[in-house]
Structure 1
């Protein structure tokens, strides 16, 4: 991070120090790591913001121990951070294990990078394992609930307006291909192939995957592209989903589109774009899809991530069994 950025951060913490005195070797090393994530790993802006925030917490922790260079860090310093985060102190409240684990992932990644770049002789964080957060099963809607949301998408506007056509196409696509909300709003028109009924999804780390799209979603997309998008586009813009000013639809606006559709459908529980993604995966597995296929469709790097959905379907089977089998109890 720049000297000005560091100075601003420290100033907000009550330390008014000239910028040229604020930047330490550790600050520069963290900046190199974040640049590495950007250039070499292709990390998203959201990931970079999260890592920068967690590593700032770490550098503050080290500064309290007068450590200003990664070469001076010892394993005990890393372990002390994890203890402090979990217990809290006079100035900071304790963090949940999930937040501690996220911070430690950033710290471990930074030290792994430092060792690989020769900034340190050893990876002092390698043996410090983050706490294992309790497994939380993803929330999945029933097929009937999803269909009600799809029916309600764009329904707050009379007739087929450009916005209502866009909203229907967006919600249909989210469920049809299980895309993340960030992936949906970054789609361009050229990423959609209505003839082969597929979409090129640009996932995490710049990885692309081709995902099939169902008939109803293709129909909604074609209607939007023919009768909705031309009325929204204000200038040459490759974005598939546009806002009313002709720019690319934001994640927040897309989230609101789904939330409004769920409210009109009478769904009481909170519904997010990830809820549709969870439902997409669960319904595929319920229908007999192989977990490896679902992994590819979701863009998961590891099948372990996808296997959490198998717990959801097993739970559903147990519930059905318990309520329907005459000898279940």
Structure 2
């Protein structure tokens, strides 16, 4: 990334408003780090405008959305800034133009409605059903203490995968949130929003097997469903993460398993089996369906892999491509 400093040749028409803006920000108690970052961001734009040699009396009002777009492209492609860094520069430019408009030095903010194209969102990792079966159907440990812990842990993992819960939602569940007769659990998600989620029969069986141990461990009348055997109080999210790694290792699973991966698996497997995006969105507690739609991409990517490995014409094409290399 090239870092440029404000040159001595920067015209007064461009430099003076920057300095005036900086003075206004100082009165508002902005940190020195923020002031420097803001000034540098706007200075980069000023340098770009001067290189365009628009007119001899260049001023900030001459920068339109087209020029801003060219400047941003230059920052991304030539200066190799990250999307996040350019987004921060855009924020500074947006505030600078708001100041210029307030001072009567510009009429239009070129950043209005301008949006950076965000990079493609990384697809979540998914474990095969065989891996989850290997985890959830592992035999009871011979050691009595480990056996008791596994009974609790299995109930947690069955619920995480079976109902697609976030680990924060799992540890927040109270005993009274479980309705075995209706096969459902009440969870509190992001934004303190409550939703009712169905439970699998496997989850119910695992919880019913765990409850007698819970009642022996619980201290101080804690209502938490999942209890620490050692402390007798509600388990932490960190404890759930650690227990999953321990149980995965004991089951001989090489893949890095974490609680959120079980939620990803729930979403992907449910969508693959049902195709009902809205239902999966509701069960996951996503406020925006676009968040749920990423699992359609995961599902399509897996179908593509299956196709490439299974379809005779696809295999033939792959073989011909490989043969040409030698």
The alpha carbon displacement at 1:181 in A equals 0.7
RMSD: 3.8
Match of 2:158 among 153, 165, 172: 172
Match of 2:207 among 221, 234, 237: 221
- Give the aligned partner of residue 148 of structure 1: 134
The alpha carbon displacement at 1:236 in A equals 0.9
Match of 1:210 among 190, 193, 196: 196
Q: TM-score, normalization: structure 2? A: 0.64
8 Å contact kept, 2:245–2:257: yes
Which structure's CA Rg is the greater one?
2
Aligned residue for 2:260, secondary structure, equals helix
Structure 2, unpaired ranges of 5+? 1-25, 47-71, 96-108, 318-326
What pairs with 1:180-329 in structure 2 (closer than 5 Å)? 180-225=166-211, 227-243=212-228, 244-328=230-314, 329=317
Q: How many angstroms apart in 2 are the aligned matches of 1:217 and 1:151?
A: 12
Q: How many angstroms apart in 1 are the aligned matches of 2:199 and 2:285?
A: 15
Q: How many angstroms apart in 2 are the aligned matches of 1:319 and 1:172?
A: 28
The alpha carbon displacement at 1:316 in A equals 1.3
The alpha carbon displacement at 1:151 in A equals 2.0
Q: How many angstroms apart in 1 are the aligned matches of 2:154 and 2:84?
A: 35
- Find runs of 4+ consecutive structure 1 residues off by over 3 angstroms: 24-27, 58-61, 63-67, 94-101, 123-131, 152-162
8 Å contact kept, 1:168–1:220: yes
Q: How many angstroms apart in 1 are the aligned matches of 2:134 and 2:279?
A: 27
Aligned residue for 1:292, secondary structure, equals helix
- Give the aligned partner of residue 34 of structure 2: 62
How many aligned residue pairs are there? 246
Please give the per-residue CA displacement for 1:124-151, whole angstroms capped at 9, x wherever unaligned: 9865646613321111111111111112
What pairs with 1:91-170 in structure 2 (closer than 5 Å)? 97=83, 127=113, 129=115, 132-152=118-138, 155=141, 157-158=143-144, 161-170=147-156
The alpha carbon displacement at 1:265 in A equals 2.2
- The 3 A distance-change label for structure 1 pair 271 and 192 is same
Q: How many angstroms apart in 1 are the aligned matches of 2:169 and 2:85?
A: 24
Please give the per-residue CA displacement for 1:237-258, whole angstroms capped at 9, x wherever unaligned: 1111111201210110001111
Q: TM-score, normalization: structure 1? A: 0.63
Aligned residue for 1:287, secondary structure, equals helix
Please give the per-residue CA displacement for 1:198-248, whole angstroms capped at 9, x wherever unaligned: 0111100011111100001101111111x2101210111111111120121
